[in-house]
Amino acid sequence: MSFPERTTTAEIELGDTLRPKFDADGLIPCITQDATSGEVLMFAFMNAESLQHTLRTGKATYWSRSRRKLWVKGEESGNIQVVRELRTDCDQDVLLLKVEQSGPANASCHNGYKSCFYRRLVSRDDPAFRLEFTSQPLFDPAKVYKKK
């Protein structure tokens, strides 16, 4: 399975065919959002193989740049993401997945939080750039991930 080719700006931006742009490293950014609440859960990259795997299995599958391998989300922790919808942006160089976060802890972040975006800036004119936590972890990472 390969993806339709990139054609004209008009076809890419206003057409009705998925024509994803993979960058020089073969990657496309992917934003993952909770399909029900709209909470942004995480941000990662896909390559063509991981996008194909996501579409074939219905489970969010990314490309791990650090481990240089296909990354089926939740394959280790059990906290998988079932894809409900896949969107692309105007110029089709970004993907947006709407998922149902599933599994024992219902969490996306390796630090145990539902979302990776668990901290916000307290004030935009704070010279110390302090962050405050907006949620509590749902699991203890030390107990879920095996030491390697």
Instruction: Report d(CA 33, CA 39) in Å as an integer.
Output: 6
Query: Residue 17 class from Cβ within 10 Å (0-12 exposed, 13-18 middle, 19+ buried)?
Result: exposed
> Is residue 7 part of the contact set for a copy of itself (CB under 8 A)?
no
Q: Under rule CB under 8 A, which residues in 61-80 are in contact with a copy of itself?
A: none
Q: Encoding tokens for residue 41?
A: 């859960």
> Is residue 128 part of the contact set for a copy of itself (CB under 8 A)?
yes
Q: Encoding tokens for residue 87?
A: 């969107």
Among 85, 102, 104, 145, which residue sits at the site for a copy of itself (rule: CB under 8 A)?
85
The smaller minimum CB distance to a copy of itself, of residues 70 and 86, is found at: 86
Count of other CB atoms within 10 angstroms of residue 48:
16
Q: Which residues bind a copy of itself (CB under 8 A)?
A: 1, 3-4, 13-19, 29, 31, 33, 37-40, 42-43, 54-56, 58, 83, 85-90, 94, 96, 109-111, 113, 116-121, 124-125, 127-134
